[in-house]
Structure formats: C-alpha cells, structure tokens
A and B are shown apart, each in its own frame.
Chain A
Amino acid sequence: MLRRHMLQQMGLWALGAPVLLHSRRSAAVGETPRRVVVIFSPNGPQHTKGPTQADGSEFDFQLHPWWSPLTRHKERGVFFRGVHQAGVPFGENSEYGHRSGTVGALTATTTGSDSNQATGPSIDQFIGQQLQASGVVTPKRSLLWSLHDNASAFYEAAGQRATPVSNPYEALADIAPAFGGDSDALRAMLTRKHFALDHMATDCASLRSELDGAGREMLDFHCANIESLEASVKASLDGGLAACQMPEDSIISLPEDADWTGREARDAAMAAYTELMALAFTCDVTRVIGLSFGSGAARFSIPESYGVPSSGQVDSGDSGPQMHAWTHQSGNNPDTMLALEIFYNWFSEKVAAILDKLQNTPDVDGRPLLDTTLVLWTSEFGSGGPHTNANTPVMLFGDSEGEIVTGRQFEIIDGPREEKALPVHNLFVSMIHHMGLTDIDTFGNAGQGPLEWLYG
C-alpha cells in the first residue's frame, strides 16, 4: 500500500501497474548472475517419509503421488528422503511443535525454548546479506513474498523475522524503482532517499558509538540495514545490469484490492509471483527470492474448486477445508489422505510452474534462467500431526551450471537425528557456495562444508 501510494504520488502508477517499467535497459557485460529461490510450505505432510516412493534407488525412483506434478522436473531435481530437519533440538520430546519446526526449517537453528524465535537468519536472507557484503549490490538485497500476512519461517537475523510482501501489486511497486532510470520524478525521489539515508547512517554511527553490549548489537543490525538500503538505492540510481521489459499484458489477473491473502486468490497470486520472479531475475533486481506458502501452523486453504473436503474438529480445535486441521486427522480416515494429496498436488504444481517459468525464460546470455538458479522447497515438519521433524520433505532443483548431479534421491533410513539432519545443514552451505560465497563453510548450528554427495 505504502509503496504503491508513493508511486501514485509521483504519477508513476496507473491502472494497477507502474508506468515506468516500459523502459528498456541496455544489456549487461560480464558473468551471468547466480540466483537462489527458497520456498517454504506450512504444516508438513503426514503419513509419508518424504517426496519419493519407498523401494527406489538413488537414480531409479518414483515420486510419491502427492508430489507427482514435479515429475516433469524430476531430472533437474534432487529429492531427500528420511532426512531430519536442520536445526531442531535433538532430544526426545523436545521439538516444541510448530515453533521449532518453523524456526529451524530455513535457519538451521533452534530456539531451545519456546521463545518462538530463530537464533540466526534464514538461508535466503543470509545469502542476500553476504552477497551484498561481498560487493554484489542489486537494487533489492532479497525479495520475500507470502500468501499470508506473515512469513514466520524467514528471519533477517536472530530474533528478527523478515517482513514479506503479500500483495503482488505491492511486490511490483517494491521492485519498480529499480527499473526507472528514465523517469525524472523517480530519480529525484531516489536521490532524496539516498541523501536521507546518508544522514541516517551518520546518526546511527554516532549513537552506536555511545553503546556497548546488547544496545550496540541492536544498532549494528540497524546501521547495517541503513547502509544496505543506501547501497541498494544507489544501485537503482546507477541502473541495472540486464535487458528487461515489462510484458504488454498485465501479469496480475485480479484487482489491487482483491483479498490477496484469502484462499480464492491463491492461483492468481502464485501466477503473479512466478512472473515477477522471472522479471526480477532477468532484470537483476535481486538474486535471492523467498516465497512462503504460509506460516507455521497455517490454516492454509486453496480455492474451493479444488474440492478439499471439510475436516471435523480436531484436537487443536480446528476444523474446515484447511490444511492444519487435516494434518491432525487420523491417517485411517480416507478423507485425510485425499485432502493432503490435493494440498500437496497444489503446492507441487505451483513449484513446477515456477520451474517451467525459469526453464522457459532466457537469461541475458540466452540460456534458461534455471541453469543458474537453485530452487529449494522445504517445510516445517516431516509429520504435521504429531509435530515431528523426522522425514522432512526437502527438494532442490537446478544443477548450478552442471555442478550438481540431479535426477537423484538422497536417502537416509537409519541413524540418529543428528546424522539425519546434517545433510540439510550441508545442503544450505552448498546453496551458499552456488552463489559464489565459497569462503563460508557453515550455516546454522551444526555441520561443516557443502554436501559433497550433490556433486556426484
């Protein structure tokens, strides 16, 4: 709302779209950028051990029917079976339900209590921060979109949840200034903002010098973010890297004031975010995008037309045609399996559509975007009913320009939780290395180095 309002004030937003996106930018010189997409779905599955069928082997396996829409991208994917979610505490009965599940899934840290907060950043935010620290400055450090009002699995830092955008028009307005080098009004706005941020940075440094301990840490975070925004605004002023143009037709099929976090808008929202993702990557607005299907314990629902049956009231008090209630239903109830299959087919189809788009959109060098993009999809639980983090579904797509050997499943059947969680920590490090940040060898609270198995 705020950002659309700002563009409206400058006459740069009309009929539901920024008017400045039609400018064509010159092509870039240099290496094709690497990108990463991090997708989180709520509640976890139930009554499965992961996205593949039992009895398969590393190269010869079938996807579980719930994930079948991803079959068309199976050869570009790596599927994890039997892994334990990263970051969670490893004691019996100490998983603290949705809190630690949501906290650990992308941060690979644990609260160790019910404080409901991660003790480190999520992988997407961390990569964005580290890229910028290494001198790769894009107009947006990272983007985070959500089908709900919040995105509780995504953290900017310990204890600091990242703020998502949950309306595609707001997402469009958020990235629009990165395109607008030709507009005088926009240049003036960005120049003023850059100037203001410079003063804020001076104030922040001066206040920080008076502090130590926790107060100084608070300002370290704040000052770093002022400087980060300042660098991003400058990158917008300086112009982007790539050739990009706004599509002629609107990429968003519902009006601005639609109920964008409601169930009936889900298909339109995902279609828009998928288009925006390709636009943001080809124009090098950012190299990191997070996407949240819903927060932990989300009563996630999809349009009525998909025919999800309505659950009776379960122990948590929930009911209705929504995911959280169904994950708490007995597996002996055939409707449970039907409902969860519909939900997982829907998620899988949306992820597959993102992969289609990345495969079919040419990068600045003419190759598909997917060649340089890694897409991770995971969830808060292995099993949503009893809230366990064993057998968490983890999937990675893209081969990092041939470095990763795909079309495989990684399987751990036996072993303690620690051992089952470590590959996921290593997988996060592999994603960091994919982005060129090869001097970083750990992520979260355990593990060391990348997942060597990935590289064949």
Chain B
Amino acid sequence: MKLEFIELELEWPYELSVFDLRPYILSKLIKYGEPLRWAITSLSTYSEKSLQKIYIEAVLIINEDKTNDVNNDLN
C-alpha cells in the first residue's frame, strides 16, 4: 500500500447539478485509487465554450499495480 498525492482536472458539465457533484467526483477519483482526502481547490469557467472545469487535489490509497495507470493519466 502507498499513498499518492494527485492533482486532477475534470470537466463539470452544465447539466450536472451541484447536488450530484460529489458522487461524480468520487466516480472519477476511484479510477486512480481509493480516495482518502480530497477537495475541489479551483474552478475555471470558459463562457465561450460553455464549459466549466474543476481542479481537484487528492490523496489516494493506491495498490502497487495501479501506480502505472496514475502516472500515465494525470497531469
């Protein structure tokens, strides 16, 4: 077992309500490991593209076999 700190950028679709945001983020984080501590730490709005992006900082519990996936996928 190891812990990994990651920074993740996600698109927040306009049709997704704030009431559904937490499960949405968890569903994305779980791909990289088991979320231990996370928060949205920044948001950007691109009005010309009708797009909002959220930035997550998180510490995940990662099994060794998932390490490669994380390194490949994260910015």
A and B from one complex: no
